[in-house]
Structure 1
Amino acid sequence: MTAPRDPFFPADQSIRASTAPIDVRELGLVDYQQAWDLQADLAAKRARDEIGDTVLVLEHPSTFTAGKRTQPEDMPDPSYPVPVVGVDRGGRITWHGEGQLVIYPIIKLAEPVDVVDYVRRLEEAIIEAVRLAGVRTAGRIDGRSGVWVPSTTPAADPAAPTRDRKVAALGIRITRGVTMHGLSLNCDNTLDHYAHIVACGIDDADVTTMSLELGRRAPPAEMGPLLVDALRRALAGELVVANHSFASAPDPSKGLKKRRS
């Protein structure tokens, strides 16, 4: 998806405020609230220049997270045995769980902060990693965030969904020029829990995993190094944002009121 305006920085220029190496922390399985608290602490320290840019790489136990634009009809039945956490990122509700790779960049962006360019660079990093792993047609749907596989691409596993399907989701927050939250890539996780929500507010498309698309296990341990390297290069301008759009669709969050706390 091309941005509605030219980015503030040339495509081959870093959007980080620092040139120091990024500190990558692989944390394993971490409770969602614990990870959120850690993010908030690191982001505050990064804003004060007490630490450098940091990327958290982890998985969560099964949890629904409801972004600021989540609507009542998106939510699971209250009796469903998976916790729902209201969060301060954009977007609507999604699911996190074991087998899904989650990456939280705590990055101080260069001034002037360009939120659109940051999101596009995250998407570019995911597209690069997913294509390197073998899902060659992964790209964007204009009007919707995240990374998608088109319906015209048959998955290797016949159990996979057949409509346009999201393999990676994004949800960010930027405070004092520092990013929080980030991205999740479905690797070899179950899709069962998505059936109990309207994921990201989208009911005319599906979700998928790397394992379903490739017809083999593609765990977070395999995808993590690919995605972290692509993220580093995208933020640095070494991996230039390109037009990978294959469709367009309505923005599921446009015009919606924010969720009440």
Structure 2
Amino acid sequence: MVKHRKIVVKQLGLIDYKAALAIQETCYVRLLEQKSGSFTITQPHPAPCGYLLICQHPPVYTIGRSGSIDHLLVDPAILQAQAITLHHTNRGGDITYHGPGQLVVYPIIDLEKFFTDIHRYLRLLEACVIEVLAYFNIEATRLLGLTGVWLKANETKKQLDRKICAIGIRVSRWVTMHGLALNVNNDLAPFNQIIPCGIPKAVTSMQKELNKSISIMTVSDILEQNILKKLNSV
């Protein structure tokens, strides 16, 4: 295990999607400069090998590289009246929704400092979320062939498979961008206007599953520590 791997955590609060993307890109460029040797830190501390950006967004639909505008089920003109913006972005995946009460985490990580395996990285993010949900007594899992975190169908309660956390990333020169969006207390109605991630399955939240509001800061703290622990244990 490599020692002294520093990951800088930045709490961005409620921030516009494009503003958060600009911060992601700044961190991404900084890591690439370090890899190429064109950027040096004069302080005696080790240079960061990653950043963890934690935030919430005002209402926004984002469409990834493989996404289709056909998965937006309403006329884009309607979104202005709803105060929901729409952005095409360079992450993987299809269309999803972000809004207040949803916890968004963007790890900007130089995977060469940890492991060079994109599938392993995705599974690590999923495992972090699954363990956090277990802390709140929500039994979550993966579904075969589908990225993200899910709650399985329950015939007794007449519940279908439903997604609670979406994951979409971009990796270039082994530096990651984008990340995960965990539904905590956010309004789920906007998901009815899309085919989330291009998959016609239901969406849920921690609040809906537990029938009570959850402290998003508590969830944030636990998830942050879990991600850092898992990355630094490899």
Question: Same fold judged by TM-score > 0.5?
Answer: yes
Unaligned residue ranges in structure 1 (runs of 5+): 1-12, 156-160, 239-261
Does 2:124 match 1:127? Answer: no
TM-score (norm 2): 0.86
- Is the contact between residue 63 and residue 69 of structure 2 (CA under 8 Å) also seen in structure 1? no
- CA distance in 1: counterparts of 2:187 and 2:218, whole angstroms: 17
Mean CA deviation greater in 171-180 or 55-64: 171-180
Higher RCO (CA-CA < 8 Å; seq separation 6+): 1
Among residues 167, 173, 178, which one is paired with 1:176 in the alignment? 173
Cα shift at 1:23: 1.1
Unaligned residue ranges in structure 2 (runs of 5+): 40-46
Any idea what the Cα deviations from partners look like across 1:15-66, whole Å, max 9, x if unmatched? xxx7323211111001000100110111110122255111001000000000
Q: How many pairs align?
A: 216
Cα shift at 1:153: 8.0
Matches within 5 A, 1:1-261: 19-49=4-34, 50=39, 52=48, 53-75=50-72, 76-81=74-79, 82-110=84-112, 113-135=116-138, 137-152=139-154, 162-203=159-200, 205-237=201-233
- Is the contact between residue 169 and residue 183 of structure 1 (CA under 8 Å) also seen in structure 2? yes
- CA distance in 2: counterparts of 1:169 and 1:79, whole angstroms: 25
Aligned AA (1:77)? D
- CA distance in 1: counterparts of 2:85 and 2:124, whole angstroms: 31
Identity of aligned residues (%): 34
Aligned AA (1:202)? I
Task: Give the alignment's Cα RMSD to 1 decimal.
Answer: 1.9
Cα shift at 1:196: 0.6
TM-score (norm 1): 0.78
SS at match of 1:216: coil
* Alpha-carbon distance change, 224 to 183 in structure 1, aligned in 2, over 3 angstroms: same
Any idea what the Cα deviations from partners look like across 1:200-253, whole Å, max 9, x if unmatched? 0111x2000001111211132121011111111222336xxxxxxxxxxxxxxx
